[in-house]
Amino acid sequence: MSIQVTSKLPHVGTTIFTVMSQMAAEHGAINLSQGFPDYDGPAALKDAVKRHIDQGFNQYPPMAGVLPLREAVAAKVLDCYGAQVSPDTEVTITPGATEAIYCAVMAIVTPGDEVIMFDPAYDSYEPAVLLAQGKPVRLPLAPPAYRIDWQRVRDVITPRTRMILVNSPHNPTGTVMTAADMAELAALAERHNLIVVSDEVYEHLVFDGQRHESVLLYPELAARSFAVSSFGKTYHVTGWKTGYCVAPPALTTELRRVHQFVTFVGITPIQLGLAEFMRAHPEHLRELPAFYQAKRDVFNSAMAGSRFRLTPSSGTYFQLADYSAISSLPDREFVTWLTREVGVAAIPVSVFYATPPAARYVRFCFCKNEDTLRAAAAKLAAL
Ligand code: PMP
Ligand code: GLN
């Protein structure tokens, strides 16, 4: 007898990141699709993790994460955003930012609560809301500027609106929120008593001298926000799946209630290694914007003569490109063709929308060695 199940996520298939990375591998294409570096994390960081493994730090850490890493996060948050947070009651180490976002949503959203998010939206947001039996309210960011239309946000707020989920620097568009956006967000959240989930995994990847607008810069916003980040992005170790969440004590208590039954904890030696590296190498964070800006510039200059039209990338390690001068294929078909026939894999942007716009964009990832970027751009510029 076959087992009958009612899917809780009937519309969810394999994520586009897995699909495209697999296709790239099958066809030997240069993989500018899924966001991960083709270079390694710092040697001193890897050594620190290995040393902690060898020294026997291989059992469960505390549920909130090892104290030295929570202290390092608190020190960093003070240094970068002037926010004084308690490592005990306001910082939680999680197995990736994804887990933190999931736990924050699960902790707050009750059946029928509305959660505002912006398309193109990172793919984990909506499933988390649906599993909490909340209602995703997806507002489009219009190309090519992809700014939040705050009037539209005001128009969709109802008494059931409970949460707003923002992401800056923004994946996949590379846009960053401004101080004016933060003022709008703070005012709306206050007026309607909303909880904010602020996905800031690319907080240290902001270019051209701009400042990252963290919710932690604004005490009134910080008081009602989960600020989420990822060591994977910051230290070039996406496969270590380690992130954190900073939130005021009342929100952290609720986050941890869920976190302790989703995963309970992350991995001890990785957390201790990160703590040691953060203390010993504060310059890593200072150097990161220039490191990624240089990669963006190498890729974009190499693409200058191409028929792709690039939108400005102010942050993240992603670059959007309008391919309408090259092809009239829908973006999923275009990236399949690009991977198989041209040898470069990219992400179709329509998959991040509830209702995709007519514009034709793909996302290229530039957290790659310069040789990789130049080789990919040479193929793309020939189209
Ligand atoms: N949010 C965004 C916007 C991302 O791009 C990613 C990257 N994968 C994540 C969250 C998840 O980060 P992590 O790998 O630490 O779970
Ligand atoms: N965040 C990465 C990206 O946007 C991928 C993460 C994943 O594979 N789920 O490419």
**Parallel/antiparallel/unpaired status of strands 225-230 and 243-246:** antiparallel
Which residue, judged by its Cα, is nearest atom 1 of ligand 2? 35
What are the backbone dihedrals phi and psi of residue 130, each rounded to the nearest 5 degrees, phi first? -65, -40
Q: Ligand 1 pocket check: which of 233, 237, 238, 352 to mutate, most ligand atoms within 8 Å of Cβ?
A: 233
pLDDT of 28 higher than 80: yes
pLDDT for the residue 168: 98
Which residue type is seen at 163?
Answer: M
Q: Is 336 helix (H, G, I), strand (E, B) or coil?
A: helix
Q: What is the C-alpha to C-alpha distance for residues 75 and 84, in angstroms, rounded to an integer?
A: 8
Q: What Rg do the C-alpha atoms of the chain give, in angstroms?
A: 21
Q: Ligand 2 pocket check: which of 14, 238, 352 to mutate, most ligand atoms within 8 Å of Cβ?
A: 238
Using pLDDT thresholds of 50, 70 and 90, give the confidence band for residue 197: very high
Q: For 56-76, how does the pLDDT look when each residue is reduced to its tens digit (9 = 90+)?
A: 999 999 999 999 999 999 999
Question: Which residue from 199, 128, 117 is spatially nearest to 161, judged by alpha carbons?
Answer: 117
pLDDT for the residue 73: 98
Determine the distance separating the centroid of ligand 1 and the alpha carbon of 166, expressed in angstroms.
13
* Residue partners of 289: CB distance under 8 A and separation at least 6: 204, 205, 206, 207
The minimum-distance atom of ligand 1 relative to the CA of 17 is 8
pLDDT of 1 higher than 80: no
Using pLDDT thresholds of 50, 70 and 90, give the confidence band for residue 142: confident
Q: What's the pTM value of the predicted model, to 2 decimals?
A: 0.97
Q: Ligand 2 pocket check: which of 17, 318, 362 to mutate, most ligand atoms within 8 Å of Cβ?
A: 17
Which residue, judged by its Cα, is nearest atom 8 of ligand 1? 35
pLDDT for the residue 120: 97
Q: For 291-315, how does the pLDDT look when each residue is reduced to its tens digit (9 = 90+)?
A: 999 999 999 999 999 999 999 999 9
pLDDT for the residue 243: 98
10 Å CB burial of residue 80 (0-12, 13-18, 19+) is: middle
Give counts: helices (H), strands (E), the chain.
14, 13
Which residue, judged by its Cα, is nearest atom 5 of ligand 1? 171
pLDDT for the residue 380: 98
Residue 167 in contact with ligand 1 by CB distance below 6 A: yes
Q: For 70-107, how does the pLDDT look when each residue is reduced to its tens digit (9 = 90+)?
A: 999 999 999 999 999 999 999 999 999 999 999 999 99
Mean pLDDT for all residues in the chain: 97
**Full set of structural domains in the chain with CATH:** 16-41+285-381 (3.90.1150.10), 43-283 (3.40.640.10)
Residue 174 in contact with ligand 1 by CB distance below 6 A: no
pLDDT for the residue 359: 86
Contact yes or no for 210/176 (Cβ under 8 A): yes
pLDDT for the residue 324: 96
Question: Which residue from 377, 313, 367, 372 is spatially nearest to 36, judged by alpha carbons?
Answer: 367
Q: For 222-264, how does the pLDDT look when each residue is reduced to its tens digit (9 = 90+)?
A: 999 999 999 999 999 999 999 999 999 999 999 999 999 999 9
